[in-house]
């Protein structure tokens, strides 16, 4: 761990009531803060753009994008991998650190999981948009049909389809399970009839009886234990989407771990990017303390180094082996059309974060900046992997170029807007911290409400 004498996970002076006030009232307060409206409006605007772009895509076809032969994959795939990567970071925080029983997790897991949810949703749309004939995407389901045909189970794309299916479903269930007791808390604090009904239904009649708690703990533990391997598998399979192919620069045995490292890195970065402003806006400094930031930063650095290792191996192996195509592709990555994306990934994902080793520099704004850099850098890495292997492969005669169009960019930013809009709704209408878990980690003496009287 980084800290010499670790900052506390929760600042002193908290008790059950203060937690409820901090978490519950944020949801129930009648007035919606201005910053929320501002952010939400922008997000919705971008969602509008997204819908527009998708409409036109369905009308005109994928030809509106920059893709061509040889670069038949473009933004849609890069966005997909990018989003799913961001999502998995959230799951790691909530699931993996639950299993390791890290107390600090309790303050950030709800934010992380929700982020996961909307990122995964954004990711899940991309492959469908990517299809030449999106209306037939359901042919990937192994359902009985009038053609008597089945999907092709040996295709990495189909593996991926099942992975994303499992992952999105599981994430929703896991998220809701954790939300349940807090929904009950909000229900019981609710004053207006509307919110009573809404949260009443949402809480599904949770009473907090010891029996329920026991079941809840066991169920939550089991799901967490399943989510952890699931998220690893999902991104490993995403890696196989590429290494399943024989293209130089794709056909690599290390892609699965490589992709997971990157995924977790982008996940941590995104969580930081969300947590730092939120603790201010929601006055959550007491619960999300410097300790959390330190830990998140530490993991960010860890992943960044792991990724550096992958980048290094990826760049080294072609020259270690004797595959001339691999070598050529690697050189294209260094110097070709898309070299900027390659070096961008290096500098934003590997070089820049290292600044944060200096604890003195861990200012919120700098952390945010670097985290944002990582998020961008990871997207660069994805598009680099997609484009730079495709536009120059085996036969020089069929080498080509890849120039994204306006519609490519609209899809990218639009999807971000859509995910953001969802996240804003979560911020407004659902408890942003796992209140019951915070109560659990209160020091025993302060595990009480206001004294009676």
Partner 1 sequence: MTEFGRRHLMQLVAASAALAGLSGCGPSETPEKMTPRVDQAPGETAGEASYVATAVVQEGFATGAILQHRMARPVKLEGNPDHPASLGAADAPMQGTVLDLYDPGRSAAVLSGGQIADWNRLALALAEKRRQWSKDGGTGLRILTGSISSPSLAAQLAALSQQYPAARWHSWEPLSRDNVAAGARLAFGKPVDALPQFDKADIVLGIESDAISAAPGHLAFARAFGARRRAAETGSGKMSRVYAIEATPTLLGAAADHRFALKPAEIELALRAIAAAVDAGPAEWRGSERPGWVDAVARDLAAHHGAALVHAGPEQSPAIHALACAINAALGAPLRHIEPVAADAPGLAELAAEMHDGKVETLLILGVNPAYDAPADLGFVEALKRVALSIELATHVDETAQLATFHVPALHMFEDWSDARAFDGTATILQPQIRPLVPGHSAPAMLALLAGTQDFSARDLVQDTWRQRVSGDFAAAWSGWLRKGVVDNTAAADAAVTLRRDFATALPKPAQTASALTVLLRPDPFLRDGAQANNGWLQELPRPFTRLTWDNAALIAPATAGRLGIASEELVDIARGGGKKVRLAAMVLPGQAEGVVTLSLGYGRRAIGAVGEGVGSDAGVLRVSTAPWQADDATLHATGQTYPLATTQQHQTMDGRDIVRTFSVDDLPKAAAAPERASLYPPYPKGDNAWGMAISLGSCIGCGACTAACQAENNIPVVGREQVMRGRAMHWIRVDRYWSDDVANPGARFQPVPCMHCEDAPCEVVCPVDATVHDTDGLNVMVYNRCVGTRFCANNCPYKVRRFNFFGYSGRDPRPAMSWNPDVTVRDRGVMEKCTYCIQRIRETKIAADRDNRPITDGEAKTACQQACPTEAIVFGDLNDAESAVRKRKASPLDYALLEELNTRPRTTYAAHVRNPNPEIKEG
Partner 2 sequence: MSGLAAEFAAEAALVEAAGRLRQAGLRRIEAYTPYPVEALDDFLPRPRAILPVLVFAAGILGLAGGFLLQWYGAAVSYPLDIGGRPPASWPAFIPIAFEIAVLGAVTAGFIGFFALAGLPAPYQPIALLPGFERASQDRFFLVVDEADPRFAAADVASILGGFPCRVVPWRP
Partner 3 sequence: MVFVIGWVGPSTGWATRVGYPVNQPVPFSHQHHVGGLGLDCRFCHTTVETSATAGMPPTYTCMTCHSQLWTNADVLAPVRASLKTDQPIEWVRVNQLPDYVYFNHSIHIAKGIGCATCHGRIDQMPLTEKAASLRMSWCVDCHRDPRPNLRPHDAVFDMGWQRSKDTPSGDQLVAQYHIKGAAELTSCSVCHR
The site for partner 1 (CB under 8 A) is made up of 60-63, 66-73, 130-133, 135-141, 143-147, 149-152, 154-158, 161, 241, 244-247, 324, 328, 390, 392-401
User: Residue 54 or 170: which CB sits closer to partner 2?
Assistant: 170
Do the beta carbons of residue 440 and residue 213 sit within 8 Å? Answer: no
CB of 141 to partner 3, least distance (A): 11
CB of 155 to partner 3, least distance (A): 16
Both tokens assigned to 39: 């952010």
Do the beta carbons of residue 391 and residue 248 sit within 8 Å? Answer: no
d(CA 23, CA 106): 13
Query: Residue 413's closest CA among 60, 45, 41?
Result: 45
CB of 167 to partner 1, least distance (A): 17
d(CA 427, CA 444): 29
92 is a contact residue toward partner 2 (CB under 8 A) = no
Alpha helices in 351-445 (DSSP H): 364-390, 406-429, 435-441
Q: b/e map of 174-184 (b: 16 or more CB within 10 Å)?
A: bbeebbbbbbb
User: Residue 251 or 362: which CB sits closer to partner 1?
Assistant: 251
User: Residue 128 or 278: which CB sits closer to partner 1?
Assistant: 128
Both tokens assigned to 53: 């772009």
By CB under 8 A, the residues from 419 to 438 that bind partner 2 are 436-437
Q: b/e map of 120-137 (b: 16 or more CB within 10 Å)?
A: bbbbbbbbebbeeebeee
End-to-end CA distance of the chain: 44
User: Residue 174 or 391: which CB sits closer to partner 2?
Assistant: 174
Which x/- pattern over 200-239 shows residues binding partner 2 (rule: CB under 8 A)? xx--xxxxxxxxxxxxxxxx--xx--xx-xx--x---x--
The owner of tokens 């969580």 is: 271
CB of 115 to partner 1, least distance (A): 25
CB of 322 to partner 1, least distance (A): 11
247 is a contact residue toward partner 2 (CB under 8 A) = no
439 is a contact residue toward partner 2 (CB under 8 A) = yes
Half-sphere exposure of 263 (CA within 13 A, CB side): 31
- Number of residues this chain uses to bind partner 2 (CB under 8 A): 69
d(CA 240, CA 242): 5
143 is a contact residue toward partner 3 (CB under 8 A) = yes
**Eight-state DSSP code of residue 135:** G
Contact positions toward partner 2, by CB under 8 A? 15-17, 20, 24, 142, 148-154, 158-159, 162-163, 165-166, 169-170, 173-174, 176-177, 181, 184-185, 187-189, 200-201, 204-219, 222-223, 226-227, 229-230, 233, 237, 240, 436-437, 439-440, 444, 447-452
Q: Which residues lie near partner 3 (CB under 8 A)?
A: 143-149
């Amino acid at each position: 761990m980084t800290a010499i004498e670790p900052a506390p996970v929760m600042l002193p002076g908290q008790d059950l009531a203060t937690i409820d006030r901090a978490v519950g009232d944020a949801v129930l307060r009648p007035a919606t803060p201005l910053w929320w409206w501002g952010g939400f409006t922008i997000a919705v605007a971008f969602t509008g753009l997204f819908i527009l772009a998708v409409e036109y895509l369905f009308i005109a076809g994928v030809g509106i994008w920059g893709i061509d032969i040889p670069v038949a994959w473009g933004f849609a795939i890069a966005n997909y991998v990018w989003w799913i990567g961001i999502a998995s970071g959230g799951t790691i925080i909530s699931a993996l650190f639950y299993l390791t029983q890290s107390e600090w997790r309790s303050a950030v897991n709800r934010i992380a999981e929700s982020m996961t949810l909307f990122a995964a949703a954004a990711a899940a749309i991309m492959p469908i948009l990517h299809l030449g004939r999106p209306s037939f995407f359901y042919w990937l389901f192994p359902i009985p049909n009038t053609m008597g045909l089945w999907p092709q189970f040996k295709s990495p794309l189909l593996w991926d389809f099942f992975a994303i299916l499992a992952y999105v479903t599981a994430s929703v269930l896991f998220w809701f399970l954790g939300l349940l007791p807090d929904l009950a808390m909000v229900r019981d604090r609710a004053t207006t009839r509307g919110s009573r009904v809404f949260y009443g239904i949402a809480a599904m009649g949770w009473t907090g009886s010891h029996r329920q708690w026991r079941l809840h703990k066991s169920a939550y533990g089991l799901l967490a234990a399943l989510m952890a391997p699931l998220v690893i598998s999902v991104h490993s399979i995403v890696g196989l989407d590429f290494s399943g192919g024989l293209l130089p620069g794709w056909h690599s045995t290390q892609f699965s771990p490589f992709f997971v490292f990157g995924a977790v890195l982008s996940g941590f970065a995104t969580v930081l990017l969300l947590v730092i402003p939120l603790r201010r806006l929601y006055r959550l400094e007491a619960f999300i303390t410097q300790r959390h930031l330190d830990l998140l930063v530490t993991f960010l650095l860890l992943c960044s180094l792991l990724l550096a290792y992958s980048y290094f191996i990826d760049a080294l192996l072609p020259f270690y082996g004797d595959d001339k195509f691999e070598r050529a592709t690697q050189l294209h990555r260094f110097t070709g059309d898309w070299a900027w994306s390659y070096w961008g990934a290096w500098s934003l994902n590997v070089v820049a974060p290292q600044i944060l080793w200096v604890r003195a520099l861990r200012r919120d704004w700098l952390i945010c900046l670097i985290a944002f850099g990582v998020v961008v850098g990871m997207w660069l890495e994805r598009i680099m992997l997609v484009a730079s292997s495709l536009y120059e492969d085996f036969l020089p005669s069929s080498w080509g170029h890849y120039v994204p169009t306006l519609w490519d960019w609209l899809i990218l930013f639009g999807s971000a807007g859509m995910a953001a809009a969802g996240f804003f709704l979560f911020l407004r209408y659902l408890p942003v911290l796992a209140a019951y878990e915070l109560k659990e980690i209160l020091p025993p003496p302060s595990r009480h409400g206001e004294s009676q009287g």
